[in-house]
């Protein structure tokens, strides 16, 4: 249900942004620190919205990746805590199978 509300909110925001952009089509001066250019306001609005969405999406993906790594780490730690005999027997089996130098 939460995902549906997020999707509906995103679609409403996209519709409002599109209507706002279409209404504002006159050219404006855009200063890019070293260069000044005249660009239709619709392109400035749509480009800004797109870049903002991409940046938010990137931060969300990085956060999700970090959370997944943390969950895997905690699951491994929980497994080692609940089953210490399995972990120690696996380590001892590995030590026995290693050739002596």
pTM, full prediction: 0.64
Give me 67's structure tokens.
Answer: 């959370």
Radius of gyration of the chain measured on its C-alpha atoms = 27
Q: Where are the alpha helices (DSSP H) in 1-101?
A: 2-23, 41-82, 84-97
What pLDDT digit, counting tens, does each position of 20-63 carry?
Answer: 888 888 999 999 889 999 999 999 989 999 999 999 999 999 99
The set of residues, in sequence order, having a beta carbon less than 8 Å from that of 18 and lying 6+ positions away, is none
What pLDDT digit, counting tens, does each position of 77-96 carry?
Answer: 999 888 877 655 665 665 66
pLDDT at residue number 76: 92
């Amino acid at each position: 249900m939460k995902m549906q509300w997020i999707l509906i909110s995103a679609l409403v925001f996209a519709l409002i942004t599109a209507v706002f952009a279409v209404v504002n089509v006159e050219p404006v001066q855009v200063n890019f620190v070293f260069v000044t250019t005249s660009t239709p306001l619709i392109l400035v609005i749509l480009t800004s919205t797109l870049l903002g969405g991409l940046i938010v999406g990137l931060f969300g993906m990085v956060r999700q990746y970090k959370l997944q790594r943390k969950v895997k780490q905690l699951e491994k730690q929980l497994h080692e805590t609940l089953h210490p005999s399995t972990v120690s027997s696996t380590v001892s089996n590995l030590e026995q199978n290693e050739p002596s130098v």
